[in-house]
Structure 1
């Protein structure tokens, strides 16, 4: 009563005293509650080791919430040395009593091979147990297993079913994944309008990947009327969360003046943000901006640096661009042999200009 403030003024310190009296007499729920108080620092100084001690006493009596919490303490290394094997033991004890979060966490342990040998079939079993109790995260994870064919035969229709169950509970990642299934026509008839709906649901919850994907739909006019301003808005929302693809696309919108006033300096900023995350297309685009002096002072050495990063990731256009810098001696010492090699790589990777440049250089014109 003191802990919840029912019938008396809420007083955590007083609640701790009463929980302690009962816990010392072996009352499992009181032991669990005392562990919660120590874990959260309510009515006592926060002390994870004390929390573990009381959770253990309750867990050994079969108190399911304590078994689950003890598993969490072992996973997170709070009050005990991190020990995934012990965590699995306590999750299993709770899961076998039907505790839904423990079933899901046990599924995760099998999927990741933490504390047990990796076993996708076991992961599926425990995800399914939790999913059938309505746990959205388990429903989503079960959908992923069906998409990837891990522990079950690949079945897009089943994946859609489980994604939908989770999506209708408001799980953003499931809403996004359901949108992907509608875009790709996997397990459902392809339907861009439905994809937009599910992307929007997830995007409005702040999921960066969904915001980016919704931006793509607006840019391309898929499932919605083409609207560059809306595309920019959703790209920006995702880009500000550090989503590299969105940063590249937002840079492109600024470079082309689509949905925003044309602004090369802004394009450079967003390309740079993505390039510094290792995004190859952004690295090439940033190289182009330096080579042409768009949005930055022209700097061939910087152009070469960014072209090289993208070329090393296999971007054909960057290989061609870097070849051009070596052919002309811009930002590097002229090296026709290396230029020819780079043009050849670009050609082999399907870039027609690379083929043309390779032939010209080989023929000496």
Structure 2
């Protein structure tokens, strides 16, 4: 069962940094809404909400505003850089890394960067100087940041062993893709270990991978349990799968047929029209389910979708915090 504290964190974003400025309730609500939109790949919608928190001095809002502006423009424009730098100056390691990774800065292309502007390598060195001591002192997130900074797989493994759910997920993914040296019968056990740990740590993508793995082992009850838990966090991919399962489109895991709830869950995903590439599948699936549902049931399903929205975490793709 997901701990209440973790579920609350998922309403904003997994493993976020501490708040750096005292926000009013209105400013906090705007920041929260902005991050929700960002997690739904709605950068344009996110920008005005995040601007409120960023201008109030909140380093996390500043970081996500920089992210939204960079993603919206497809490059690091001066406004995005300004907010990354504001966040980085308050100690945000993610902002430092994005500034350090930047190879598409508009000012470089125009050859008019400000003379006082730090070089990318300086930001990376600063981030490492902060993260490494914390990582060596046992902080799991700092270990994961060290992996992002160095691409040293040892840091990823250390973060996973220290209980970082995202690191555990990536350990499972990389081993599933063939990395690491194992005896033939050991690899699958290790993959399962990491996905199980990530799932139990509350990471929605880890829950989905663990559900899929259990389904492949013909543990149908295990699949249902973890797929539904992942859907309950608002993760778009598993909501689509859960809704499809309930509507028997197709019937792969023996769920009792519930076309109303199945339609409702797929209908929810129409909201995710800012990116993520789901809309064609959503449209196709709703058409399929419509063939086995009455007009009255569709009305009921849409009301159920409204209730779900009011009583569950917001829909999210749970993108990596350090986007590319």
> How does the TM-score come out when normalised to structure 1?
0.45
Task: Please give the alpha-carbon distance, in whole angstroms, between the structure 2 residues aligned to 1:88 and 1:286.
Answer: 42
Q: Which has the higher contact order (CA 8 A, sep 6+)?
A: 2
* Equivalent position of 2:31 in the other structure: none
* Equivalent position of 1:350 in the other structure: none
Residues 228 and 132 of structure 1: is their aligned pair in 2 closer, same or farther, counting only changes over 3 Å?
same
The CA RMSD over aligned residues, in Å, is: 4.1
Native 8 Å contact 2:84 2:95 kept in 1:
no
Q: Structure 1: give runs of 5+ residues left out of the alignment.
A: 1-38, 42-74, 92-100, 148-157, 300-365
* Equivalent position of 1:294 in the other structure: 292
Task: Please give the alpha-carbon distance, in whole angstroms, between the structure 1 residues aligned to 2:120 and 2:269.
Answer: 34
* Equivalent position of 1:141 in the other structure: 145
Task: Please give the alpha-carbon distance, in whole angstroms, between the structure 2 residues aligned to 1:110 and 1:132.
Answer: 16
Task: Please give the alpha-carbon distance, in whole angstroms, between the structure 2 residues aligned to 1:80 and 1:244.
Answer: 28
1:186-225 counterparts in 2 under 5 A? 186-187=179-180, 189=182, 191-221=187-217
Native 8 Å contact 1:245 1:274 kept in 2:
no
* Equivalent position of 1:184 in the other structure: 177
Counterpart pick for 1:172 among 153, 165, 168 = 165
Shift of 1:247: 1.2
**Helix, strand or coil at the partner of 2:242:** helix
Shift of 1:169: 2.0
Task: Please give the alpha-carbon distance, in whole angstroms, between the structure 1 residues aligned to 2:121 and 2:58.
Answer: 30
Task: Please give the alpha-carbon distance, in whole angstroms, between the structure 1 residues aligned to 2:225 and 2:84.
Answer: 46
Number of matched pairs: 204
Native 8 Å contact 1:271 1:282 kept in 2:
yes
1:239-289 deviation per Cα after TM superposition (whole angstroms, max 9, x unaligned): 122211101221232211625323222322222223442423233111211
Q: Structure 2: give runs of 5+ residues left out of the alignment.
A: 1-20, 24-52, 63-81, 106-113, 298-324
1:310-362 deviation per Cα after TM superposition (whole angstroms, max 9, x unaligned): xxxxxxxxxxxxxxxxxxxxxxxxxxxxxxxxxxxxxxxxxxxxxxxxxxxxx
Native 8 Å contact 2:132 2:146 kept in 1:
no
Task: Please give the alpha-carbon distance, in whole angstroms, between the structure 1 residues aligned to 2:243 and 2:128.
Answer: 43
Shift of 1:185: 1.7
Counterpart pick for 1:251 among 218, 243, 248 = 243
Counterpart pick for 2:100 among 68, 85, 110 = 110
Task: Check if 1:238 corresponds to 2:236.
Answer: no
1:64-109 deviation per Cα after TM superposition (whole angstroms, max 9, x unaligned): xxxxxxxxxxx94446997648747856xxxxxxxxx666663354
Native 8 Å contact 1:275 1:286 kept in 2:
no
Native 8 Å contact 2:131 2:143 kept in 1:
yes
**Helix, strand or coil at the partner of 2:238:** helix
Task: Please give the alpha-carbon distance, in whole angstroms, between the structure 1 residues aligned to 2:260 and 2:88.
Answer: 56
Shift of 1:127: 4.3
Task: Please give the alpha-carbon distance, in whole angstroms, between the structure 2 residues aligned to 1:211 and 1:298.
Answer: 34
Counterpart pick for 1:271 among 261, 266, 270 = 266
Task: Please give the alpha-carbon distance, in whole angstroms, between the structure 2 residues aligned to 1:235 and 1:227.
Answer: 12
Give the greater-gyration-radius structure (CA). Answer: 1
